């Protein structure tokens, strides 16, 4: 907890004031009423009686209801000078007054003052007042914090960020690689700017647009571009901000959001990660009338209920459309579903050109080469790639980004940070045979993707890596390609078995075996590529925690399950035998490649194919379609 002088003073001052008032009250009730007649010395009651009998007492003043007296007496020890002394009187001494009258002593009784009651009342009230004031200041201070106690009355208010004219700094020219999605959304912008152009022919403005795609493909960037292009009021909120721990808060926030949107129509509402609130209702664990479902019901009503929302366009983004409720996806709520997928080679080139504007690239760097080497990369991946290359350039104290930094950045993004190079000769050669086994099978099989690079430089958890360049232009995968991939993945294990024997097989093929088993099982259960025939035997029910059914059932009998396992085993064993046969037949080229890899630690794909071609014919691989 951070120390605060303000809090210390806030809690110390009341204590001091209360102590002062209590002391003041006590003083007023007791000693304070003696006033200026307070004596500096005391005298016992017995000695006071002796002085009275000896006619040495001249004046007596009674205080505190007769409990205390200030006595003026002649003291023979002080040359018969008169002094004032204080005498504590006993509670029962009625004969004292008679005795004073008998001796002719002047006496007077001073009444008790009532100021003590006032000070006591103030002392009892001041602490609660200060306590309430301190708590008020603390609550007022904490009310400025998000979710603080002072925010309790604002739970039902929408947390959407609102801008009358969204100055996001992003336009459609800044979004590259997803031209189809931009064209779909360009119409939405035109609807907002010139609605009469469409209403003249009977077209109505779409109510909702759902952006669907993997993470990093640019869904949120597209929403920012729409806001920047349309120049209309823009509401931005995340799906998770609707739901709180209090029941009914999410629905209240939805109502408040659409109320503000209607006041500022035409406008755009952007809901990011809508799957947080729009999952299927009435299924899975937690299904029923819970807070999330109430929020979804209110959202459905606002989007397409009895009251229209003319001029309000809702743009939502998600990477899990499979878990969304069917009522949310129907026309009338989300009229369009725009797929924002990973860009192709032409799109990647456009994305690289956008992100390379503020990067200093060497003249030898070709963005087209980078685009060819990065199949499957999203826009966020490409931006991170160039940023990592720039960081490596600055670390190496170079003036411009070269192809070396680009290659290292690709390896780092895909496989992880570079580790310490291997020193042990035996382990290094074993890993070299493993990686050469992958690359050799991938080179000799016609249906396999071409080898891009083989390296012994450790990255992440891998001690060595073999890179393949998939042909992304082919959308479908044949049975021969799947079996070639399985054989290539088993090439490393086959090389270890053939070269070092069964006893020296390592755990390096663990990840390869997982991929092999998954591909073989999909061939049997999903794609009908086995002796079981063209049957889809895989259950399509998803996880129960993602809104799927609670009860899962099997789509086949135990006998079919046994046959599936047998077919998977047959496919894997056949591919493994083929890989071992290729290792035996190409032992000489494999030994030469291993010696070269141990020496250089990295072999380029083109050099690898040239060496293999000296020993055996290399089949032609599918080539890339040129960029137009």
Tell me the CATH number of domain 42-109, given options 3.30.720.210, 2.40.128.720, 1.10.3720.10, 3.30.930.10: 3.30.720.210
- How many angstroms separate the CA atoms of 492 and 462, rounded? 13
How, if at all, do strands 267-272 and 106-109 pair? unpaired
**Residue 100: what pLDDT?**
77
- How many angstroms separate the CA atoms of 628 and 626, rounded? 6
Top CATH class of 345-414 equals mainly alpha
- How many angstroms separate the CA atoms of 230 and 165, rounded? 9
Q: Which residues of the chain have pLDDT under 70?
A: 1-40, 65, 78-80, 92-94, 112-123, 127, 139-169, 243-248, 282-290, 305-310, 422-424, 471-475, 539-555, 620-628
CB atoms within 10 A of CB 216: 19
3-state SS of 571-615? HHHHHHHHHHHHHHHCHHHHHHHHHHHHHHCEEEHHHHHHHHHCC
- How many angstroms separate the CA atoms of 48 and 54, rounded? 10
Could you tell me the sign of the dihedral formed by the alpha carbons of 51, 53, 59, 65, in that order?
Answer: positive
Q: Which residues contact 407 (CB under 8 A, 6 or more apart)?
A: none
What stretch of H or E contains 425?
helix 425-444
- How many angstroms separate the CA atoms of 493 and 483, rounded? 16
Output the pTM of the full model.
0.66
**Residue 115: what pLDDT?**
58
Of 297, 236, 299, 243, which Cα lies nearest the Cα of 271? Answer: 236
Catalogue the active-site residues. Answer: 435
Q: Are 576 and 509 in contact (CB under 8 A)?
A: no
User: Would you kindly state where each structural domain of the chain is located, as residue ranges?
Assistant: 1-38+114-154, 42-109, 161-339, 345-414, 425-542+555-613
What stretch of H or E contains 20?
helix 5-29
**Residue 483: what pLDDT?**
93
Bridge partners (DSSP) listed for residue 24: none
Give the DSSP letter of residue 174: G
- How many angstroms separate the CA atoms of 202 and 200, rounded? 6
Tell me the CATH number of domain 425-542+555-613, given options 1.20.58.760, 1.10.390.10, 2.40.40.20, 1.10.10.10: 1.20.58.760
User: Furthest-apart CA pair in the chain: how many Å?
Assistant: 147
Which superfamily, per CATH, for 161-339?
A: P-loop containing nucleotide triphosphate hydrolases (3.40.50.300)
- How many angstroms separate the CA atoms of 277 and 262, rounded? 22
Strand, helix or coil for residue 455: strand
Q: pLDDT (tens digit, 9 = 90+) per residue, 354-410?
A: 888 888 888 888 888 888 888 888 888 999 999 999 999 999 999 999 988 988 888
Token pair of 109 as six digits: 């009784």
**Residue 393: what pLDDT?**
92
Q: Are 619 and 592 in contact (CB under 8 A)?
A: no
Q: Where are the beta strands (DSSP E) in 196-285?
A: 208-212, 234-238, 267-272
In the chain, what are the helix, strand and coil shares in percent, each to the nearest 5? 55, 15, 35
DSSP string, 281-337: SS-STT-SS-HHHHHHHHHHHHHSSSS--TTEEEEEEES-GGGB-HHHHSTTTS-EE
**Residue 439: what pLDDT?**
92
């Amino acid at each position: 907890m951070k120390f605060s002088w303000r809090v210390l003073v806030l809690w110390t001052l009341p204590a001091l004031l209360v102590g002062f008032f209590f002391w003041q009250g006590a003083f007023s009730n007791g000693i304070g009423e003696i006033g200026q007649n307070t004596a500096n010395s005391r005298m016992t009651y017995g000695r006071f009686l002796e002085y009275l009998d000896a006619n040495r007492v001249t004046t007596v003043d009674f205080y505190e209801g007769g409990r205390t007296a200030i006595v003026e007496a002649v003291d023979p020890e002080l040359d018969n000078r008169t002094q004032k002394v204080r005498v504590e009187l006993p509670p029962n001494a009625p004969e004292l007054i008679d005795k004073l009258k008998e001796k002719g002593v002047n006496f007077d009784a001073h009444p008790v003052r009532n100021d003590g009651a006032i000070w006591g009342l103030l002392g009892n009230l001041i602490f609660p007042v200060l306590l309430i004031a301190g708590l008020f200041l603390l609550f007022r201070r904490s009310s400025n914090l998000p979710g603080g106690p002072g925010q309790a009355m604002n739970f039902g208010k929408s947390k959407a960020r609102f801008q009358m004219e969204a100055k996001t700094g992003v336009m459609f020219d800044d979004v590259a690689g997803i031209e189809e999605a931009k064209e779909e959304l360009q119409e939405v912008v035109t609807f907002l700017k010139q609605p009469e152009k469409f209403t003249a022919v009977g077209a109505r403005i779409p109510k909702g647009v759902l952006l669907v795609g993997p993470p990093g493909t640019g869904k949120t960037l597209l929403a920012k571009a729409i806001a920047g292009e349309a120049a209309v009021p823009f509401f931005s909120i995340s799906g998770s901000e609707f739901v709180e721990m209090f029941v009914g808060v999410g629905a209240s926030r939805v109502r408040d959001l659409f109320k503000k949107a209607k006041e500022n129509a035409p406008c755009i509402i952007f809901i990011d990660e809508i799957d947080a609130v729009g999952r299927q209702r009435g299924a899975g664990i937690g299904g029923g009338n819970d807070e999330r479902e109430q929020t979804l019901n209110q959202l459905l009503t606002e989007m397409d209920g009895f009251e229209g929302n003319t001029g309000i366009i809702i743009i939502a983004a998600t990477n899990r459309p499979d878990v969304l409720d069917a009522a949310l996806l129907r026309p009338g709520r989300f009229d369009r579903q725009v797929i924002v997928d990973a860009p192709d080679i032409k799109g990647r080139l456009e994305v690289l050109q956008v992100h390379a504007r503020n990067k200093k690239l060497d003249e030898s760097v070709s963005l087209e080469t980078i685009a060819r080497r990065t199949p499957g990369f999203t826009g966020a991946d490409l931006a991170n790639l160039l940023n990592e290359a720039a960081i490596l350039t600055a670390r190496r104290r170079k003036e411009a980004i070269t192809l070396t930094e680009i290659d290292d950045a690709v390896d780092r993004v895909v496989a992880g940070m570079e580790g310490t190079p291997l020193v042990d000769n035996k382990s290094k050669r074993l890993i070299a045979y493993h990686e050469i086994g992958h690359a050799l099978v991938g080179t000799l099989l016609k249906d396999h993707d071409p080898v891009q690079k083989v390296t012994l430089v450790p990255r992440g958890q891998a001690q060595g890596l073999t890179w393949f360049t998939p042909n992304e232009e082919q959308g479908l995968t044949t049975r021969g390609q799947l079996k070639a991939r399985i054989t290539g993945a088993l090439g490393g294990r086959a090389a270890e078995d053939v070269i070092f024997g069964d006893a020296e097989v390592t755990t390096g093929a663990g990840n390869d075996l997982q991929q092999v088993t998954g591909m073989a099982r999909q061939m049997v259960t999903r794609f009908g590529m086995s002796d079981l025939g063209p049957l889809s035997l895989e259950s399509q029910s998803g996880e129960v925690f993602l809104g799927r059914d609670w009860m899962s059932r099997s789509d086949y009998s135990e006998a079919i399950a046994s046959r599936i396992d047998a077919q998977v085993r047959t496919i894997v064993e056949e591919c493994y035998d083929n890989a071992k046969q290729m290792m035996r037949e190409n032992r000489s080229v494999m030994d030469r490649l291993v010696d070269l890899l141990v020496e250089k630690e990295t072999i380029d794909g083109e050099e690898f194919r040239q060496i293999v071609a000296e020993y055996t014919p290399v089949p032609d691989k599918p080539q890339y379609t040129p960029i137009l």
